[in-house]
Amino acid sequence: MNSKFVIESTSILSFKKKVNIPSYQRPYCWGKEEIEKLLNDFKDNSEDDYYFIGNVITIKNGKYYDLIDGQQRFTTIWILCLYLYSKSRNNQLFELCYQEDSPRLHFAIRTETNNYLKALLKKVEDSSAGEDKFWKIDQFLPDENDLTNPTLMQNLNIAKSFRIIDEWIKNDIATINIKKFEKFVIEKVQFKFLVAPEGSDENNLFIQINTNGTQFQHYDILKAELINALSHDTKGEYSKKWEWATEIFYFKTDSKQEKNGIDEKVDLLLSDIINSEGGVEYFGEENEENTEKQENKFEYLISFNTILLHTLFIYSKKYKLKLPEHFNEEKLLDIFQYFRKSVEKGNLHREINAKYFIDLLAEVKEKMNSHILFKDIEKNTFSLLTENQKNYEYDDDDDDDDEVLKQQNSEFVQLQRMLYHSSNDKKQFWLGVLLDRLINNNDYSLKVLEKIDNVFSIRGNTFEIYKSYFEDSEIFLSSESLFVIENFSFTFKNFNRYWFYKVEYLLWKNYKEKLNATNNTIISRTSVEHVLPQKEEAYFQENNVKINDFGNLILITVSENSGFSAKSLLKKYEYYEKLNNPPLKMKLLFNQLEEKNLLVQDSELKKENLEVIKTILESNKMEILSLIIQHYC
């Protein structure tokens, strides 16, 4: 048996093999920046004798070669060749795309993508040269309301790539000799095609290559280890489950990947793995920064790494395993170290452990789709994603609605908005606890979410408190969480913004009818502002009006602050009246001032008015603190 890599230097013209994208690979996700960089490199180097684009690392698998590294670049070359063929009908281009009655490029678990590639080839063959937008085949692309099928989302990215190439060529047509460019791609673009020795562990090779660089996200490595633990018969099924669980995350750039010295490392790595002779040139295709924003409609509240960590804690609690000692999405593989040992070779239960975790991850994703808020990127709002939204946001004209359930569920959604916006920590510990309640207790009541929030707000939003839930959830939920005013500061310079958000939720929950605020939503606000203007602080202090106390403070957005700061009381009120979604604390205070006819120019505030204002501010403060205390009782 050959124990060395077979290394073949090849051009597009001389390449004759069929390539398969295995189940452990991420979907195709190159965008405008990466594709245009490749095209510009081709154009800028078109006078050279050859242009080396890197290595494609594979392992033989029947009639295909499973692609271990180089997927994004190879897929883009396939797309480019088909696009150029559609314009010129040069059969040499078509030969890279098609062989033996099927596409040269095949995806192991994405049947709809394989069908899309076949349909593209047929449409190009059947249509006249130069047909525009041949890639728009609706039956293989998601409509704007269907973003739940990761394979269709991959098809959409492939279609976008055709469009990007089309726009690049049309925009640069004056500086590009198309025939010359085409000849360069066919004859001078070269790569090294590496075939691993027969019997190599494909998943381990993938893991080792990508663990020794920053090419892939840590969750790609974790996925490969889990899939590697499965039998051949179940790998396809569980790869699809994982891919479904990661859908949307693959199509948003939730982190930037920095370049490193991967080129030098791979020579050593391949030698370490199989003691291959000879140096290997390497171009790490995944380690370039990906800054393009993908055109998706929804976004999760947290990163996929964070969901994996929450899932690990839920898994550990469910199966009574040792809990991780840390929670850091940037150290995902380290935190998973204990679990990863359970899916290593030699562990008798490695397959069942891998299945249980992926099944649980899919369940977490399902609960998030059903009960947890998503960010609507187009509208910049937060709402539920799936049809279960009807369980939360009812049609006011439906007389059959259960009013109690309607009110509770709308409060459940509003409380999630409050929790998300009030947290400066991307970990969102409340969400991990809620997901466990949803999965293991089917408990999505307002009462349990309020209890979760109350515990964190009183005992501290820390990893230690989060972990204590998974150590003993009943003690966590039954623990006393009384609000003691003396333990918290409510003055201008020492104010935790969390309490402003909490007040917004409690005012909306208890006063929405009184304040005519049923449609108000809790949004991100970061600027603490005075209602009675701070510029007159000396005057107010002289008259014992505490303008830096809680009664006179509100939380507003930065844009609201620009129209609010340093203005007189009357001008602030005039500005407030123009707001569609004003802070309810502001609304309550202005209502109280208006009732006493105190919305006047600052110069018109007489001493007797200041006495009334002082009373109103104190009353406002005590009324709100009373709401908080009652909520915690």
d(CA 235, CA 55): 26
Question: For residues 12 and 6, what is the distance between their CA atoms, to the nearest angstrom?
Answer: 18
pLDDT grade for 439, boundaries at 50, 70 and 90: very high
- The Cβ of residue 569 has, within 10 Å, a number of other Cβ atoms equal to 22
Q: 17-49: buried (b, 16+ CB within 10 Å) or exposed (e) per residue?
A: bebbbbbbbbbbbbbbebbbebbeebbeebeee
d(CA 169, CA 583): 50
Q: Are 150 and 247 in contact (CB under 8 A)?
A: yes
Look-up: residue for tokens 């640069």? 172
Q: With contact defined as beta carbons under 8 Å apart, do 458 and 534 qualify?
A: no
List pLDDT tens digits, range 571-584. 888 888 888 889 99
Q: pLDDT at residue 269 above 50?
A: no
pLDDT at 284: 33
Domain residue ranges of the chain, discontinuous segments joined by +: 6-211, 298-480, 490-632
The pair of structure tokens assigned to 581 is: 């979604």
Would you place residue 357 in the very low, low, confident or very high pLDDT band (cuts 50, 70, 90)? very high
Is a pLDDT exceeding 80 seen at residue 84?
A: yes
The pLDDT tens digits for 22-79 are 887 888 889 999 999 999 889 888 888 888 888 888 889 888 999 888 889 999 999 9
Is residue 290 predicted with pLDDT exceeding 50?
Answer: no
Q: Is the pLDDT of residue 420 over 90?
A: yes
**Structure-token match 């510009």, residue found:** 40
Q: Which residues of 364-393 are buried (b: 16+ CB within 10 A; e: fewer)?
A: bbebbbbbbbbbeeeeeebbbbeeeeebbe
